[in-house]
């Protein structure tokens, strides 16, 4: 029964996945940690960290959540639920959407979802930071990373290496 619940919960989430699975972190957290108590805060944060460290799409966090809750069946249910409903809807509507290309309302919708995606991703980042219980040093590293990323052409892997080194040194 839990597999069906997982599928239904994540299928609903898939319809608001503007910005990908990462943008849904606060809502996923609410569903699996706060509402159903399937995972703890710590486990949720660890699964997200593992998903981000692994190569591949950001939807991997959904698969890991399903795996942790209900094994292979849970992983398949959450992944299918996150990907299938919107894929089918887009497939059915893409020709219609393209026929409205250049219309003012279509441009307005496209422009409107961009800030929505940014806001959802920012709220997800805030959730992970709160669950990780950042201290002042971690927040300083976040600020330095944002500035370095925006003002330089430094590859993000160097920033990750600096964060890892600071963590290994016990400074974060």
pLDDT digits (tens, 9 = 90+) for 128-157: 787 777 888 888 998 999 999 999 988 988
Is residue 147 exposed (0-12), middle (13-18) or buried (19+ Cβ within 10 Å)? exposed
Tens-digit pLDDT profile for residues 23-63: 788 889 999 999 999 999 889 988 988 998 888 888 899 99
Q: What is the pLDDT of residue 150?
A: 93
Q: How confident is the model at residue 74 (pLDDT cuts 50, 70, 90)?
A: very high
Query: Which tokens go with 14?
Result: 């898939």
CA nearest 29: which of 44, 18, 15?
44
Compute the distance between CA of residue 30 and CA of residue 27 in angstroms, rounded to an integer.
Answer: 5
Q: What is the pLDDT of residue 125?
A: 82
DSSP labels, 118-151: HHHHHHHHHHHHHHTT--HHHHHHHHHHHHHHHH
Tens-digit pLDDT profile for residues 83-128: 998 888 888 888 887 787 788 887 888 788 778 778 878 887 888 7
Q: At what angle do helices 104-131 and 136-151 cross, to 10 degrees?
A: 150
CA nearest 53: which of 168, 170, 127, 163?
163
Q: Please list, in sequence order, all residues whose beta carbon lies within 8 angstroms of the beta carbon of residue 26, skipping any fewer than 6 positions away.
A: 120, 123, 124, 126, 127
């Amino acid at each position: 029964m839990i597999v069906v619940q997982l599928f239904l919960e994540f299928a609903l989430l898939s319809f608001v996945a503007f910005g990908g699975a990462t943008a849904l972190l606060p809502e996923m957290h609410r569903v699996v940690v706060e509402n159903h108590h399937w995972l703890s805060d710590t486990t949720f944060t660890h699964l997200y960290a593992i998903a981000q460290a692994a190569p591949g799409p950001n939807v991997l966090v959904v698969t890991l959540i399903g795996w942790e809750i209900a094994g292979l069946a849970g992983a398949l249910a959450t992944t299918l639920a996150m990907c299938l409903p919107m894929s089918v809807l887009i497939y059915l509507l893409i020709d219609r959407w393209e026929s409205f290309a250049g219309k003012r309302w279509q441009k307005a919708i496209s422009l409107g979802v961009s800030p929505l995606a940014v806001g959802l991703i920012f709220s997800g980042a805030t959730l992970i930071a709160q669950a990780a219980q950042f201290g002042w040093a971690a927040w300083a590293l976040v600020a330095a990373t944002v500035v370095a990323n925006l003002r330089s052409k430094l590859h993000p892997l160097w920033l990750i290496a600096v964060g890892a080194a600071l963590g290994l040194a016990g400074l974060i």
